[in-house]
Chain A
Amino acid sequence: MAAVEKRRPAMTQAASITDSGRPGVSRAAVTAESEEDFLRQVGVTEMLRAALLKVLEARPEEPIAFLAHYFENMGLRSPANGGAGEPPGQLLLQQQRLGRALWHLRLAHHSQRTAFNNNVGVAYECLSASGRKKKPGLDGRTYSELLKRICRDGEAPEEVVAPLLRKIQCRDHEAVPLAVFRAGMLTCFVLLEFVSRAGALYRLLEDPGLAVADRRVGQAVLDTLAGALQASDDTAPARYLEAGSRLGPDSLALAMDRALVARRPSAAMTREEFLEKAAALFIAKVKPVG
Chain B
Amino acid sequence: MSRVSVPCHVKGTVALQVGDVRTSQGRPGVLVIDVTFPSVAPFELQEIMFKNYYTAFLTIRVRQHTSTHTPAKWVTCLRDYCLMPDPHSEEGAQEYVSLFKHQMLCDMARVLELRLILRQPSPLWSSFTVEELQIYQQGPKSPSMTFPKWLSHPMPCEQPAPLLEGLPDPSRVSSEAQQMWALTEMIRASHTSTRIGRFDVDGCYDLNLLSYT
Q: Does the CB pair B148–A282 fall under 8 Å?
A: no
Q: Does the CB pair B159–A250 fall under 8 Å?
A: yes
Q: Does the CB pair A204–B184 fall under 8 Å?
A: no
Note all chain B residues with C-beta closer than 8 A to A186: 187, 190
Q: Does the CB pair A174–B168 fall under 8 Å?
A: no
Note all chain B residues with C-beta closer than 8 A to A247: 174, 177-178, 181
Q: Does the CB pair B178–A244 fall under 8 Å?
A: yes
Give the distance in Å from the alpha carbon of A287 to the alpha carbon of B194 in the complex: 12
A10 within 8 A of B: no
Q: Closest Cβ of chain B: how far from A105's Cβ, in Å?
A: 16
Q: Contact partner of B184 among A194, A201, A246, A263, CB < 8 A? A: A194
Q: Closest Cβ of chain B: how far from A236's Cβ, in Å?
A: 9
B89 within 8 A of A: no
Note all chain A residues with C-beta closer than 8 A to B197: 174
Residue of A nearest to B195 (CB): A290
Note all chain A residues with C-beta closer than 8 A to B154: 250-251, 254
A179 within 8 A of B: yes
Note all chain B residues with C-beta closer than 8 A to A253: 163, 167, 170
Give A173-195 as 1s and 0s: 1 = Cβ < 8 Å from B's Cβ atoms: 01111011011001100110110
Q: Does the CB pair B183–A204 fall under 8 Å?
A: no
- Known interface pairs A201-B176, A242-B150, A254-B158. Does A229 touch B171 (Cβ–Cβ under 8 Å)? no
- Known interface pairs A221-B173, A221-B177, A285-B184. Does A176 touch B196 (Cβ–Cβ under 8 Å)? yes
Q: Closest Cβ of chain B: how far from A253's Cβ, in Å?
A: 4
Complex interface residues of chain B between 138 and 182 (CB less than 8 A to chain A)? 148, 150-151, 153-154, 158-159, 161, 163-164, 166-174, 176-181
B22 within 8 A of A: no
Q: Does the CB pair A285–B174 fall under 8 Å?
A: no
B69 within 8 A of A: no
Note all chain A residues with C-beta closer than 8 A to B195: 289-290
Give A242-270 as 1s and 0s: 1 = Cβ < 8 Å from B's Cβ atoms: 11111111111110110010010000000
Note all chain B residues with C-beta closer than 8 A to A252: 170, 173-174, 177
- Known interface pairs A242-B148, A245-B151, A248-B174. Does A217 touch B187 (Cβ–Cβ under 8 Å)? no
B209 within 8 A of A: no
Give A195-207 as 1s and 0s: 1 = Cβ < 8 Å from B's Cβ atoms: 0011011001101
Note all chain A residues with C-beta closer than 8 A to B198: 174, 290
Give B35-63 as 1s and 0s: 1 = Cβ < 8 Å from A's Cβ atoms: 00000000000000000000000000000
Q: Does the CB pair B173–A182 fall under 8 Å?
A: no
A90 within 8 A of B: no
B192 within 8 A of A: yes
Q: Closest Cβ of chain A: how far from B159's Cβ, in Å?
A: 7
A233 within 8 A of B: yes
Assign chain A's interface to a size class.
35 or more
Q: Does the CB pair A287–B191 fall under 8 Å?
A: yes
Most central of A197, A198, A240 by chain B CB within 10 Å: A197
Give the distance in Å from the alpha carbon of A281 to the alpha carbon of B187 in the complex: 12
Q: Does the CB pair A257–B163 fall under 8 Å?
A: yes
Q: Closest Cβ of chain B: how far from A230's Cβ, in Å?
A: 11
Note all chain B residues with C-beta closer than 8 A to A207: 166
Give the distance in Å from the alpha carbon of A289 to the alpha carbon of B161 in the complex: 47
- Known interface pairs A250-B154, A290-B198. Does A182 touch B177 (Cβ–Cβ under 8 Å)? no
Q: Does the CB pair A278–B164 fall under 8 Å?
A: no
A232 within 8 A of B: yes
Q: Does the CB pair B196–A204 fall under 8 Å?
A: no
A286 within 8 A of B: yes
Note all chain A residues with C-beta closer than 8 A to B171: 249
Give the distance in Å from the alpha carbon of A180 to the alpha carbon of B195 in the complex: 7
- Known interface pairs A233-B148, A242-B148, A281-B184. Does A257 touch B172 (Cβ–Cβ under 8 Å)? no
Complex interface residues of chain B between 184 and 213 (CB less than 8 A to chain A)? 184-188, 190-198
Q: Closest Cβ of chain B: how far from A186's Cβ, in Å?
A: 7
Interface on B for A, CB 8 Å cutoff?
A: 148, 150-151, 153-154, 158-159, 161, 163-164, 166-174, 176-181, 183-188, 190-198
Given contacts A229-B181, A290-B198, 9 further A-B contacts (CB under 8 A): A179-B193, A241-B150, A243-B185, A249-B174, A250-B153, A251-B174, A257-B167, A263-B164, A289-B195
22 A-B pairs whose Cβ atoms sit less than 8 Å apart in the complex:
A174-B197, A175-B196, A176-B196, A183-B190, A190-B183, A193-B183, A204-B168, A204-B172, A225-B180, A229-B181, A232-B148, A241-B150, A242-B150, A246-B150, A249-B170, A250-B170, A251-B153, A256-B167, A256-B170, A263-B164, A282-B184, A289-B196
